[in-house]
């Protein structure tokens, strides 16, 4: 049931965007590929995020579900979408915990709807854990190596 899927804007605890949140349900990756009008989709861990690449223009919201925080496939899904130029909302949902926030942010997530609300202060600290980063990722932050060799 497509309309049972997805989180509502009320469930989003952290959002790093200025645009209006999409206020309708998401569809599965399969349904998104079959339908021509879906603007919101939800990726499960086993889904191939690349199936969505032909439809990125019409997508305003992609939810990536983490049924278990130890299943890290969603991090790759997020980066793949950002690498392909997706600029819409990328929302981490499910078992989203404090200690995953900074990595998720680096992989391109810009909204977070944890299934259990997180302590605001702990989360604020978690988002700010790393002043510097070693790797290039979806957030386009300048890396330590870049800074070492800047002209």
Partner 1 sequence: MYQYDQYDQAMVDARVEEFRDQARRRLEGKLTEDQFKPLRLMNGLYLQLHAYMLRVAIPYGTLNARQMEALADIAEKYDRGYGHFTTRQNIQYNWIKLEDAADILADLARVEMHAIQTSGNCIRNISADHFAGAAADEVVDPRPYAELMRQWSSFHPEFTYLPRKFKIAVIGSETDRAAMRLHDIGIRIVKRDGEVGAQFYAGGGMGRTPMIAPLIRDFVPLDQLITYAEACLRVYNRYGRRDNKYKARIKILVHELGAAEYTRQVEEEFAHMLSVGVEPPLEELARIAAHFADPAFVEGPKTLDRSDPDFALWVDRNTHRHKHDAYVSAVISLKPAGGIPGDATADQMRLMARLAKQYSFDELRVMHTQNVLLPHVRIADLHALWTALDEAGLGSPNMDTIEDIIACPGLDYCSLANARSIPLAQRISERFAQTGRTEVIGELKLKISGCINACGHHHAGHIGILGVDKKGTENYQLSLGGSEAEDVSLAKITGPGFDEDGVIAAVEKVTDVYLEARAEGERFLDTYRRIGMEPFKEALYG
- Tell me the closest approach of the beta carbon of residue 17 to partner 1, in angstroms: 19
- Tell me the closest approach of the beta carbon of residue 99 to partner 1, in angstroms: 6
Q: Does 23 bind partner 1 (CB under 8 A)?
A: no
- Tell me how far apart the alpha carbons of residues 98 and 140 are, in angstroms, rounded to a whole number: 22
Please select the residue that binds partner 1; options are 34, 122, 124, 142, rule is CB under 8 A: 122
Please select the residue that binds partner 1; options are 30, 34, 83, 120, rule is CB under 8 A: 83
Q: Which residues pair with 41 in a beta bridge?
A: 27, 62
Strands (E), 7-87: 14-15, 27-28, 40-43, 61-66
Piece of the chain touching partner 1 by CB under 8 A; list 6-14, 19-27, 54-62, 141-149: 141-149
Rama region for 97: left / alpha / beta (φ>0; ψ in -120 to 50; rest)? beta
- Tell me how far apart the alpha carbons of residues 71 and 37 are, in angstroms, rounded to a whole number: 30
Q: Does 57 bind partner 1 (CB under 8 A)?
A: no
- Find the farthest-apart pair of alpha carbons in the chain and give their distance in angstroms, rounded: 55
Residues at the contact surface with partner 1, assessed by CB under 8 A:
45, 48, 69-73, 75-76, 79, 83, 97-100, 102-104, 106-107, 119, 122, 125, 129-137, 143-149
């Amino acid at each position: 049931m497509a309309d049972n899927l997805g989180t509502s804007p009320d469930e989003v605890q952290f959002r790093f965007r200025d645009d209006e949140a999409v206020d309708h349900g998401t569809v599965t990756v399969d349904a998104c590929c079959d339908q021509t009008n879906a603007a919101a989709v939800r990726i499960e861990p086993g889904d191939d995020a690349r199936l969505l690449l032909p439809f990125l223009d019409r997508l305003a919201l992609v939810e990536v579900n983490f049924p278990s925080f130890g299943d890290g496939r969603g991090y790759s899904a997020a980066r793949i979408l950002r690498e392909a130029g997706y600029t819409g909302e990328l929302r981490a949902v499910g078992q989203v915990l404090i200690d995953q926030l900074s990595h998720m942010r680096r992989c391109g997530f810009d909204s977070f709807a944890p299934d259990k609300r997180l302590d605001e202060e702990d989360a604020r600290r978690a988002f700010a854990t790393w002043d510097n980063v070693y790797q290039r990722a979806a957030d386009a932050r300048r890396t330590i190596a870049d800074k070492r060799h800047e002209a």
